[in-house]
Structures are given as structure tokens and as C-alpha cells.
Amino acid sequence: MTQPAPSAQHNGPDKGAVAAPSDTPPSKSGGGMPALGLRLDVRILSLLGVLAALVLVGGITEPDAFLDTGNLQLILTQASVIGVVTVGMTFVIISGGIDLSVGAMVALASVWATTLATQEYGFAGIAFTAVIVGLAAGLVNGVLIAYGNMVPFIATLAMLASARGLALQITDGKTQIVTVDSVLDLGLPDSYILGIPPLVIMFAVVVIVGWLILNRTTFGRRTVAVGGNAEAARLAGIDVRRQRLYLYLLSGLCCGIAAFMLIVLAGSGQNTNGNLYELDAIAAAIIGGTLLSGGRGTIVGSVLGVLIFTTITNIFALNNLQSDVQQIAKGAIIVAAVLVQSRTMRGRET
């Protein structure tokens, strides 16, 4: 045992007062920045890997049915509706919030846009109404949360209940068949552009615009700042309330667009539309790497999350497996993704 005696030993080279070691490699361009989204980090690569594996499984179990062009178009179309909702949800979650009312807003917008009165105004009437109803519902959420100081969970839960109720009141539980041909045509193979359904193109546009807003604009920056540290954002001079209001408006807008897409796809409006979309959208964002506590997330990750879920559903349906098995598989994937997520987080800790 060493006796306690004064001694000074200088070990190693003196590097001077240097900051704690950085795990971000220095880079000349902005390419290494964390929140960029496009950066092919481990998470995005692993999601791509999962998707590739699913395609492989689909290709092996049902080679003819799965890889059929029509089936692939179907997968993408189905992914488009929930995908648009997920883009809005991703913004809200990155800001540290949550929007439980997306499914109900989709339902409300889809039935309001398909009433007989609205259909008289044709294509424009349906599209306009769907978007406006979505925005209006989002506005109510935003005002309650940003200026009424309500917890997002509660405010949007209330919206979920009342929007569903209003949708039922409008339809009286009946399916509202769409008779406007120009709307229905959008869903037909004749309108496919280079084999791509118009709905998929709409989804792609929403994704690209969403990515640009998140990564290239002040709006995106402020969203991340509010979610990462709302108090710091406020003290840095950001109008946190207004930002929150805009975010729920954005989610409502996405729901309005999704409602229109659903009308095209189903050829009708129903008060049961968008059932459990909130859970699918939250799950897709989470497995895509968006932190539920806010401050971090990517549009690309969320899109991959949506594609993974939609592909699983498709493969299970092709293999005649019941939806109960699907639900279990989805649950397992969410758990696995969050476990991976918390592992990588722990690895970063010092």
C-alpha cells in the first residue's frame, strides 16, 4: 500500500486546457451536422436494412403477388395517406408535443368534404374543404396548447373525441359516396404518371417540402430549438407560443391533405376514416428515430417507418395472416426500435 505522501507525477503530454473530447468529427461542409436528416447514419441505414429484409421476405414467400407492379403501387399508395399524416406528426413530436387528434381530423375533413353540398362545387370544393377543415381543427389545437397553456396530450385528446363526434353527426353513420369524377379519376391507373399513382406523387411532394422546411428554414430550426429546450428557445428570443401554434396548424394541414387523398382512394367519406392513424403515425415517427421527448427527429426516418409498417401489413395480407398477427408484429417492431434507440443514446453518454 502506498503511504500517503505528497508527490506530484506528471503523466502524459500536456495538452493544455482542452474541451471534453468531441465525438463529432470535424468537417468542412455542413455534411456532418446531426439534424441534417439526409446523413446516412446508423439508424437510417438500419431502417433501410429492415425494409430490404421485408422486401426479401415478401419476394420469397409470395414471389408473384408481392413483386407485382400493381402490388407495389398499392403499398406506396397506402403508405401515402398515413405518410402525409406522419410528416406533420414528426414536426409536432420534434417540437416536444404530440397530436392525438390526427385520425379524427382526417375523418372530420373527409366527411365534411364529401357532403352533398360540398360535392356540388366539384373537385375544388372537395379539396379546399378538406384542407380548410384540417387547418381549422389544427388551429383549435394550436390555440388551446400555445395560448391556453393546455398540455398537448389533453388538448388533442379532446379534439380526437369531438372531431370524431362531429364527423358522426355530419354523416349520421352513413358512407358518403363521391360522385365527382375528376376526384375519382385520380385514383385510377389511367392517371398514373410513368406508373406512379398521383397520390404517391402528392406524398413525395409533402415529404420533400417537409424535409426542406425542417432542415433548411428558420421554421425547422425553431421547431428543433423549442423541442430541444423550450426555455432556452424562449430566452434566445424565439416566440415559442407562436411556433407551437404553427406546428399544430401544420399537423392539421397534413391531415386535410391526407383526408383528400383518402377520399380519392376510397371514393367516399366516412366517419370511421383514419381510425387509429394517431398510433400508426406516432409509431412510424418513433421507429424512424424521432425522440418522443422532442429535440430530434428526421423526416427520412419517419418515411421509412411508414414504409416498413405498410410493407409488413401487405406481406401479412398476401400470406393470409390475420390482422391480429400483424398487430403483434408491429408491437414487437416498436419495442425493438426503441431498444436500439436507447442503446445508441446510452453509447453517447459520457
Partner 1 sequence: MAPEPPLLTMSGITKLFPGVRALDGVDLEVQAGEVHCLLGQNGAGKSTLIKVLAGAHQPNDGEITWRGEKVQLKSPIAAMRLGIATIYQELDLVEGLSVAENVFLGHEPTSAGFIVRTGEGRAAAKALLARLGHPEIDPARHVGDLSAAQQQIVSMARALSHEVRLIVMDEPSAALDPDEVDNLFRIVEGLTADGVAVVYISHRLEEIRRIGDRVTVIKDGRTVAVGLPAADTPTRDIVAMMTGRDVAYVFPPRPDEPAAITGEPVLRVQGLSRKGEFAPVDLELRPGEIVGLAGLVGSGRSEILETIYGARKASTGTVTVAGKQLRPGSVRAAVAAGIGLAPEERKAQALLMTESVTRNVSVSSLSRFARIGWIDRGGERKAARSATRELQMRPDNPDAAVRTLSGGNQQKAVLARWLLRGCRVLLLDEPTRGVDVGARAELYAVIRRLADEGLAVLLVSSEVPEVLGLADRVLVLREGEVVHTAPAQELDEHRVLDLVMEGSPTP
Picking from 120, 101, 55, the residue whose alpha carbon sits closest to that of residue 248 is 101
Q: Which of residues 220-259 bind partner 1 (CB under 8 A)?
A: 221-222, 224-225, 228-229, 231-239
Minimum CB separation of residue 213 from partner 1 in Å reads 8
- 174 vs 216, beta carbon nearer partner 1: 216
* Those residues with Cβ within 8 angstroms of residue 310's Cβ, 6 or more apart along the chain or in another chain: 75, 78, 79, 82
Residue whose grid cell is 352533398 = 116
60, 69, 194, 347: which one binds partner 1 (CB under 8 A): 347
- 29 vs 322, beta carbon nearer partner 1: 29
Q: Which three cell numbers stand for residue 31?
A: 455534411
Q: Is 117 in the site for partner 1 (CB under 8 A)?
A: no
- 20 vs 193, beta carbon nearer partner 1: 20
Q: Which of residues 67-106 bind partner 1 (CB under 8 A)?
A: none
CB 297 within 8 A of CB 288: yes
Q: Is 56 in the site for partner 1 (CB under 8 A)?
A: no
26, 40, 64, 189: which one binds partner 1 (CB under 8 A): 26
Minimum CB separation of residue 334 from partner 1 in Å reads 23
For 89-98, give one letter per residue: b (16+ CB within 10 A) or e.
bbbbbbbbbb
**Which DSSP category does 24 fall into?**
S
CB atoms within 10 A of CB 264: 25
| Cα 333 to Cα 327: distance, rounded to the nearest angstrom | 10
Count, residues near partner 1 per rule CB under 8 A: 55
Q: Which three cell numbers stand for residue 110?
A: 373527409
- 34 vs 165, beta carbon nearer partner 1: 34
Minimum CB separation of residue 344 from partner 1 in Å reads 9
Q: Which of residues 159-218 bind partner 1 (CB under 8 A)?
A: 216-218
CB 100 within 8 A of CB 278: yes
What does the binding site for partner 1 look like in residue numbers (CB under 8 A)? 1-12, 14-24, 26-27, 30, 32-35, 216-219, 221-222, 224-225, 228-229, 231-239, 295-296, 347-350
